Amino acid sequence: MVQQFRDTPADLPVLATATPFAGNKTSVRTDDIRFPDGSVARRDYQVHPGSVAVLALDERDRVAVLSQYRHPVRHKLWEIPAGLLDIPGENPLHAAQRELYEEAHLKAEDWRVLADVYTTPGGCDEAVRIFLAREVSAADGERYAVTGEEADMQHALVPLADLVRGVLAGELHNNCLVVGVLALQAARAGDGLDALRPADAPWPARPYPA
C-alpha cells in the first residue's frame, strides 16, 4: 500500500499575542506558543492577505512573464502575473483574472489550479494559489494604467522550455514562476493538464464563498 503524504492542520495554544507593526497590506504579529512538551517559544511573523499568480500559456507553448524590481532582494526578477487578494473573501479566480488583465493585458478561456503553496511558512502566513491559464488572447480595451515600480515592467512571451532551463540553472528565482513552470512540467509528465484541479477547487488556506 502506498503511503499518502499530505500536510495537516495543527493549532498550538497561543498564550499571548501582539501586533507590534501594522502596515497598509500586511502586519507583523508576535505570538507566545506552547509546544506539546510544555516548552514556550515566541514567534514573530508577517500576517499576509494571500496572493494569486497566473501561468498563462499560449498556443506556441510560451509563458507570459514580466520583469519587476523587488527592493528587498535588490533585483529585477522575471515573474508571472500575480497580486494580492485585496478584497476579503474574494474569489481567487476572479483575482487571478484581474491580475492577468492588469499586468499582462491578457485574458484566457481555460483555467485550472496548478499549485497551492505557502511561500515562507517559517516567517509569513502568505498562501498563494497558482493558476494555469490557457487559450490566451489579448484583453479588450485599453491597457491598465500602472505607476511606481510597475511602470518600469518589461513584458515577454518566453518558451516554457527556456524557463525550465533558467530555473534549474539558478538564473530565475521568483517562487511563483519556479513552482509554476516546474509544476506544469510535472503535470504534463503525469496525468496531463486536463487532470489538474478545476479553477474553483476548494482552498482551505484562504476560504471563499461559493
As annotated, the active-site residues are 150
Query: DSSP strand E in the chain: where?
Result: 14-22, 27-34, 40-47, 51-56, 62-70, 75-79, 82-84, 106-118, 127-138, 154-159, 197-198
Query: CA-to-CA distance for 201 and 203, rounded, in angstroms?
Result: 6
- Assess contact for 89 and 117: CB atoms under 8 A: no
**Contact (Cβ atoms closer than 8 angstroms) between residue 166 and residue 37:** no
CA dist list (Å): 19 to 6, 22, 34, 45, 92 = 31, 7, 19, 10, 27
Tell me how far apart the alpha carbons of residues 135 and 109 are, in angstroms, rounded to a whole number. Answer: 5
Distance in angstroms (rounded) separating the CA atoms of residues 51 and 98: 12
